[in-house]
Structure 1
C-alpha cells in the first residue's frame, strides 16, 4: 500500500505544481529579482502548496496510526498558511516567527513531541530536561524551520537538500523499525521530488516560504520523532543529517557577529553564494551542495552503526571537512584561513 501511495503522491505533486503556478501568478504571489537574488526574471512562488497538498493526500490514503498525526497535520497547516501569507503579502519577521511558534507549540503541547531526556553515554545516567524540555524542543523546531528557509537561494537547492534529508531519515527509521516516521518521511520525500522536476534549474516555479518553512518544520518534527530521548552520541545523528542547513545557518550567524551586523541581516555570503563567486555555475553549485548533503547523510548512517571511538573519529573528520570547505570558499570571509595557512606553513 505504501508503494502505491508513494507513486500516487509523486504523480499528484507533478500534476498539482502547474496548477499552483497559475494560482500564484493569479493572486500576485511572485518573486521579483533584487540585488540579493540570483534569478533575473519575475517568478511565481508558493510552490510549496503543491508539496503540502500531495503530502496531505498521501497521509490520508495511508492513515498512519499514531497520536501525533493530527497535531503534525494541524501544525503543518499553520506553517503553510504563514508561508503563503508571506509569499503574497511579505509578513513582518515577528508575524512569521509567531506562526512558527504556534505551529511548534501545537506539536509539542498537543502531540507530545518533545525531547524529555538524554541517556548519558559513559555514566549510564539520564539527563532530564524537565522544564527546559519545551523551550529546547521549540528552539529545535523553529531553528531547523528557518535553516531550510535560509538555504532556499538557488533553483532546486532547498527541495533537493530536503529530499536527501527525508530519504535518510526514512531509511534510518526503517532500520530502527519505526514505521510511523518512515511513512511520513517517504511520503513527504515523494511529494518534494515531484515538485523538484519543476524547481530544478532552470526553475519554472519557486517553493517560496510556503514550501521552505513547511519542509523545515516537517523535517525538524520527523527528526525529533525518530531520534528523541536517545544517547548524547545518537542525538548527533539528526544534526549530521541536516548538516548543510545547520552549518550554513551557524556560519551565517558567526559571519554577522564578526562583521558586527544584526543576526537577522540578509547577505550574499551563504554557501551557495560563495560557490558561485568561486566560479561554479548555477547548476554545478546546486549539485555540489547535493553532494555535500549526501556525504553528511552517509556519515550519519555510518555514525549510527559505529562504536563510540568510531563515532568520535567520524565527528572529527566531519568537522575538519567543514572547516576546509569554509576556508576554501570564504564562508567566513576571504581572510579567514587558519587551517589552510597552518598546512601551507608546515610544507
Structure 2
C-alpha cells in the first residue's frame, strides 16, 4: 500500500473516531433517537432512543478527505457517479430518518415514494454512465462479454434499487451492516487498482476507514446507528462501484449476505400471503437466528464470516 492510500485510510479513521462522540452527544441532545418497531424483538426495545443518522459522518468525512487529497479526480465521470450515488441515496435515507425521528415512529417515507426516489436516481446514474461507457457485462470466470444494449438499463435499475433496499434490511443488529459493508467494499478496491482506477480505490478506502471508525461506536451495545441515511448510501455506493468497474454480476456474490437478507423477506412475505404460515420465525433472517437462541453478537459474527467468504469468492472470480 502506497503512502497516500495509508494516509487516506488513517485520516478518515481518526477523524471519524474523533468526531463521532460529539455527534452522538448532539443527536442525544436534539433527541434524534431510534424508535424500534412495535412488532420487533422484545430484546431490542432497550435500543429505543439510541441516536440514529450516524451515516452522515461516514458519508461526509470520506468525501471531504478525498476532495482534499485528490481534487482533480472529482472531474472523472466514474468518481462523480460513485460520489453522487453515495450522497444521493444517503439523502433519501436522511429524509426517511428525519420523518421517523420527528413522528417518533417507524413509518418515515411511504414505500412508494422511497422506491420512486430510488428509481429516479437509478435512471440518472444510468444516463450519466451511458455517455462514457459501454453497456457490456462480463461473465465471471470465463470472461465472456455481452452487450445488453438498452437492456443494460434494467440491470442498472435492479442493482441500485435492490442493493440499496437489501443493505437497508441488513441494518438490524449492532455492527452487522457496517461490518458486512466493509468486507464487501474490499474486492472493489482491488478491482479498481487492477483497472488502474487509483482514485476510485482511494475513495473506497476512505469510506472503509470511516466505516471502521463508525463501527467502533456501533458494536454491541451500539451507541449510535447509521439509520437509513447510512444503509441506503452504502447500497447506492456498492451498486455504483459495481457498475463503473464492470463487475455488475459479481455484486450478487460479493454482496451475498445482503442478497440472503432480502430473499428471506421476499420468501417470508410471499409464503405468508399464500399459506398464512411463516418460513422463518422472523424476517430478515438475522432475527430468525436470534429467535432460535443465538446471541446478537454471535449472529453478527456469523454474518461477518459469511460476508468474508462471499467477498473472497467474488474477488477470486473477478481476477481469474
Q: TM-score category by the smaller chain?
A: 0.7 to 0.9
Cα 1:210/1:115, change in 2 over 3 Å: farther
Mapped pair 1:21 → 2:21: no
Structure 1 residue 155, shift from structure 2 partner: 0.4
Cα 1:168/1:256, change in 2 over 3 Å: same
TM-score normalised by structure 1 residue count:
0.77
Cα 1:188/1:122, change in 2 over 3 Å: closer
Structure 1 equivalent of residue 62 of structure 2:
55
Structure 2 equivalent of residue 43 of structure 1:
50
TM-score normalised by structure 2 residue count:
0.83
Structure 1 residue 132, shift from structure 2 partner: 2.0
Structure 1 equivalent of residue 8 of structure 2:
5
Residues in 2 aligned to 1:11 and 1:131: alpha-carbon distance in whole angstroms: 44
Structure 2 equivalent of residue 300 of structure 1:
314
Structure 2 equivalent of residue 75 of structure 1:
85
- Partner of 2:97: helix, strand, or coil? helix
Q: What do you get for the CA RMSD once the two structures are aligned? A: 2.6
Q: Which runs of 4+ in 1 moved over 4 A?
A: 119-126
Mapped pair 1:102 → 2:120: yes
The answer to which structure, 1 or 2, has the higher relative contact order (CA under 8 A, 6+ apart) is 2
CA contact (8 A) 2:175 2:218 kept: yes
- Partner of 1:104: helix, strand, or coil? helix
CA contact (8 A) 1:59 1:184 kept: yes
Between 1:73-82 and 1:216-225, the stretch displaced more is: 73-82
Question: Which of 202, 209, 213 is the equivalent residue of 1:190?
Answer: 209
Which runs of no fewer than 5 residues in structure 2 stay unpaired? 100-107, 275-280
Structure 1 residue 6, shift from structure 2 partner: 1.5
Question: Which of 90, 94, 109 is the equivalent residue of 1:91?
Answer: 109
Which runs of no fewer than 5 residues in structure 1 stay unpaired? 229-234, 262-266, 307-347
Mapped pair 1:167 → 2:186: yes
Residues in 2 aligned to 1:255 and 1:76: alpha-carbon distance in whole angstroms: 30
Residues in 2 aligned to 1:129 and 1:173: alpha-carbon distance in whole angstroms: 23
Residues in 2 aligned to 1:124 and 1:68: alpha-carbon distance in whole angstroms: 22
Cα 1:279/1:94, change in 2 over 3 Å: same
- Partner of 2:146: helix, strand, or coil? strand
- Partner of 1:259: helix, strand, or coil? helix
- Partner of 2:137: helix, strand, or coil? strand
